[in-house]
C-alpha cells in the first residue's frame, strides 16, 4: 500500500496506530449516510414527521405524540435495522476472508437456512412465542455453523471446501424447512412464511437490547483479532511464521460470525444477501486489501436501512418486507459477481 494512503498516529508511551486514509473517509461517509437514512426512515410513515422534528424529538424536545411515534414505534425498528445490517456485514466479511472467496458468505453457506430451521421447529412443532422463535433461530444457526465447520475440517478449514460443504448443507436444510412447512397447519404456515421473508415490521425494544448486547461483546472480540485475520489471507504457513495461532483465531472468528448472523436472523428473519454484498461493496469503495471489517459493518447498516426505506416508499401503497428488496438486489449482484469471477477464471 502506498504511503500516501497510510497515516500513523503516535501517542504517549510509544503507541502507534496506522490507518488507511481512504478507508477512514469511506467509513465516515457510510456512517453519515446510515444516520441520515435513519432520520428519514423515522420520519416516514402514515404520520410523516419532518427530519428537523425527528432530531428535535430524539433530543427530548418533541411533543407527546411525536415522542410516542418516534421513541416507541419507529426508533426501535431503525435500531434493529442498523444492528442487523452491521452484524450481517461483519459476519459476511469474516466468512469471505476466512474462505478467501467472495461467495463465502452466510447466505451461500446456509447459516440463514439453519437459523430458519430452528425458528420453524419452534413455530411448527411447539407453537412458540416470539422469544422462543428467536431462541430457536439462534440455536439453529449455531448448530448449522458448527456442523459446517466440522464437515469442512481436514487438517484445517480451507476456502473452497468450506463453500462446497456449505452449499451441500444449505440444500439439506432447505429440504428440511420445506418438510416442516408441509406439516404445519394453515395459521402456523402463514406465520412461518412471514418470518422467513425477513422483515423489520413490528420490531420493538425487546429485539434491540439482546442484539445490542451481542454486538457489544462480539464486535470488539472480532476487531481485536483483525490482524490475525488479515495475516491468514496470505496463507496458513505465512500466518504461522508471523506468530498467528491460525486454527484458534479461525475458530474464534467463525464462531463470532455464526453468532452475529444467527442473532441478526433471530431479530429480523433471514434478510438475504446483505452479508454477501456489503463486504464486496466496502472493499470496492476502500480499494484496500484485507477483510475491511469496519467498512463492511457500516456498509451493511447503510444498505439495510436504505432497503427498508425503499420497501416502504418505492412501491406506492404496497409495502414490502425488507427481505424482498435485499433479495432482489442481492440476486442481481450475485449474478454479476458470478459472471465476473468466471471471466477472471476463478470459477
Cell of 92: 459476511
Q: Which residues pair with 9 in a beta bridge?
A: 17
336 CB burial (10 A radius; 0-12, 13-18, 19+): exposed
Q: Tell me the pLDDT tens digit for each residue of 175-204.
A: 999 999 888 888 888 888 888 888 888 888
CA within 13 Å, CB half, 119: 33
CA within 13 Å, CB half, 286: 29
With a cut of 70, list the residues of the chain below it in pLDDT: 1-19, 155-159, 235-240, 242, 315-318, 341, 345-347
Q: Do residues 165 and 285 lie in contact, with contact meaning Cβ atoms separated by under 8 Å?
A: no
Q: Tell me the pLDDT tens digit for each residue of 15-61.
A: 445 667 888 899 999 999 999 999 999 998 888 889 999 999 998 88
Model confidence, pTM:
0.88
Give the integer Cα–Cα distance in Å for 194 and 33: 29
Amino acid at each position: 500500500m502506498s504511503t500516501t494512503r497510510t497515516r500513523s498516529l503516535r501517542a504517549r508511551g510509544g503507541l502507534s496506530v496506522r490507518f488507511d486514509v481512504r478507508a477512514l473517509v469511506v467509513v465516515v461517509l457510510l456512517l453519515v449516510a446510515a444516520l441520515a437514512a435513519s432520520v428519514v426512515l423515522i420520519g416516514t410513515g402514515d404520520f410523516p414527521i419532518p427530519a428537523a422534528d425527528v432530531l428535535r424529538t430524539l433530543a427530548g424536545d418533541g411533543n407527546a405524540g411525536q415522542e410516542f411515534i418516534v421513541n416507541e414505534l419507529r426508533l426501535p425498528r431503525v435500531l434493529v435495522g442498523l444492528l442487523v445490517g452491521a452484524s450481517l456485514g461483519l459476519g459476511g466479511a469474516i466468512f469471505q476472508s476466512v474462505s478467501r472467496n467472495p461467495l463465502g458468505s452466510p447466505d451461500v453457506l446456509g447459516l440463514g437456512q439453519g437459523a430458519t430451521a430452528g425458528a420453524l421447529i419452534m413455530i411448527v412443532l411447539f407453537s412458540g412465542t416470539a422469544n422462543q422463535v428467536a431462541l430457536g433461530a439462534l440455536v439453529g444457526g449455531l448448530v448449522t455453523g458448527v456442523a459446517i465447520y466440522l464437515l469442512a475440517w481436514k487438517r484445517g478449514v480451507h476456502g473452497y471446501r468450506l463453500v462446497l460443504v456449505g452449499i451441500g448443507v444449505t440444500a439439506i436444510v432447505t429440504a428440511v424447512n420445506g418438510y416442516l412447512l408441509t406439516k404445519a397447519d394453515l395459521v402456523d404456515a402463514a406465520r412461518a412464511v412471514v418470518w422467513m421473508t425477513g422483515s423489520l415490521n413490528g420490531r420493538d425494544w425487546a429485539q434491540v437490547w439482546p442484539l445490542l448486547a451481542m454486538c457489544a461483546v462480539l464486535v470488539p472480540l472480532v476487531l481485536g483479532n483483525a490482524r490475525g485475520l488479515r495475516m491468514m489471507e496470505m496463507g496458513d504457513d505465512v500466518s504461522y511464521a508471523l506468530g498467528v495461532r491460525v486454527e484458534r483465531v479461525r475458530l474464534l472468528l467463525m464462531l463470532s460470525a455464526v453468532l452475529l448472523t444467527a442473532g441478526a436472523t433471530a431479530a429480523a428473519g433471514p434478510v438475504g444477501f446483505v452479508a454477501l454484498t456489503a463486504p464486496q461493496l466496502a472493499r470496492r469503495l476502500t480499494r484496500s486489501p484485507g477483510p475491511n471489517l469496519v467498512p463492511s459493518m457500516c456498509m451493511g447498516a447503510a444498505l439495510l436501512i436504505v432497503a427498508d426505506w425503499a420497501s416502504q416508499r418505492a412501491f406506492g401503497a404496497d409495502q414490502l418486507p425488507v427481505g424482498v428488496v435485499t433479495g432482489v438486489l442481492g440476486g442481481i449482484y450475485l449474478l454479476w459477481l458470478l459472471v465476473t469471477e468466471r471471466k477472471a477464471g476463478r470459477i
